[in-house]
Amino acid sequence: MTVSTVYAYDSFQDYHPGKLSGTLPAPYNQYTGYTFLEYGLKNDIAIDLESGYTATDFRGSGLGGITDTTIGARWQFHRTDNTVWTVRAAGIVAGSYAISTTANFSPGDKASGGLGSISGGWNMPHNFYSFIEAGYRVRTNPVPQDAFGTAGIGHSFKRLTYSTSFQTSRSINGVDIVGAAPKFSAYFQPAQFPATKKVFDAMDFNTTYHFKSGLNFGFDYSKILDGRNVGMKNVLAFSFGFTMPGHMPHIE
């Protein structure tokens, strides 16, 4: 079993309503703490749970509550000495936070649904490794369906690992933000934010230190580079995790 607890802080002031660019009068901040638990039923099958609490803050106003929770299962269907492939399916349970009808400070889209993905990883010479993931997410109306993906490369040095990856998420349908707060437009109302077509590309940088006991501490920085109906977020995250029974024989 592996358990990871993460605290994430993200903030933005520049945003892209539709295909345009805009700037908020003050930074939009969000604070999230969540735990990811994965338990191996067999050598090639694992179940997982991810949930936590999140809150937003924009000019003294905000909303908070339990995050959208995912409950999933992963199957490792192919493995060699240097390669591994897995597939994952998960259900999504809408969080407890409220959706704002006056401005865009809702913590999320608050929609149940499901997702599926396939991921691969490779060990390479000189302690390098690479990884990819591609998936599809379906949630209840009016939230659009999304295709998402990640591709990255990393390196291990003794007990330290560090990696960088490109991440993307692209709604298949949805509406554009039209106008600006507080009036927006006759064609768009704040209650429609969950229905917006969200597209973004981001870069992610991660470093983690692994202790022989199985404990690990990590730091992560992500930056949204471009998008549609999203904020140009900077995300900082700190993580603490451990494995049970608490031994990692593959790390010397």
Give per-residue pLDDT as tens, 56-83: 999 888 999 999 999 999 999 999 999 9
Q: What angle do CA 27, 54, 233 make, to 5 degrees?
A: 35
Q: Cβ contacts of residue 193 below 8 Å, gap of 6+? A: 99, 100, 104, 106, 109, 177
pLDDT at 181: 63
126 located within any domain: yes
E strand spans, the chain: 2-16, 22-40, 45-58, 64-66, 69-79, 83-93, 113-124, 128-139, 146-157, 160-171, 199-210, 216-228, 230-231, 234-243
* Domain contains 250: no
How much is the pLDDT for 252? 37
DSSP labels, 29-43: EEEEEEEEEEEESSS
- By CB atoms closer than 10 A (0-12, 13-18, 19+), residue 249 is exposed
| SS3 assignment, position 181 | coil
> In CATH, what number is assigned to the domain containing residue 59?
2.40.128.130
Mean pLDDT in residue range 78-105: 92
Does residue 252 lie within any of the structural domains?
Answer: no
Per-residue pLDDT band at 246 (split at 50, 70, 90): low
* Number of domains observed in the structure of the chain: 1
pLDDT grade for 182, boundaries at 50, 70 and 90: low
Pairing of strands 2-16, 234-243: antiparallel
- Does position 249 have pLDDT exceeding 50, yes or no? no
Question: Which domain, by its residues, includes 91?
Answer: 2-243
Is residue 41 included in any domain, yes or no?
A: yes
In sequence order, which residues have a C-beta less than 8 Å from that of residue 82 and are 6 or more positions away?
122, 123, 124
Q: How confident is the model at residue 190 (pLDDT cuts 50, 70, 90)?
A: confident
* Minimum mean pLDDT range among 97-106, 215-224, 239-248: 239-248
Of 67, 39, 73, nearest to 54 (Cα)?
A: 67
Q: Is residue 248 part of a domain?
A: no
Per residue in 144-153, pLDDT tens? 999 999 999 9
